[in-house]
Amino acid sequence: MSQSNCLFCKITNKEIPAEIIYEDDNFLCFKDINPKANVHLLVIPKQHIENLNDLNPNDKKHHEIMSNALMLLPKIAKEQGLDDGFRTVLNTGPGGGQEVYHIHFHLLGGGNLHKL
């Protein structure tokens, strides 16, 4: 999918509204419109990467994006009061349940996640 047709790129470019929780130069975090938990946020890099299969192991920017995302997730969880813990999910490809082809982390918490 091209960036011009990507839902999350359109959200990043403010072409489509979203309830933004966090934003910096490289990442955006917003509420999922179909939440599966009391807190259900999506954390996305602003750079369009379709999924884990599209990461280039030789691209230092890809390494930076993924490591920074993993460092950002607990920061956002703490800001959302998820002191008890939280779940992160990253779906890859149709068999992995990916629906939007822009890499994104689901950050879930605020209740009993054993049912999910």
Active centre residues (catalytic) = 104
- Distance between CA atoms of 30 and 99, rounded to whole angstroms? 16
What phi, psi does 107 have (nearest 5°)? -115, 115
For residue 95, give Cα distances in angstroms to 55, 91, 92, 98, 116. Answer: 18, 9, 7, 8, 18
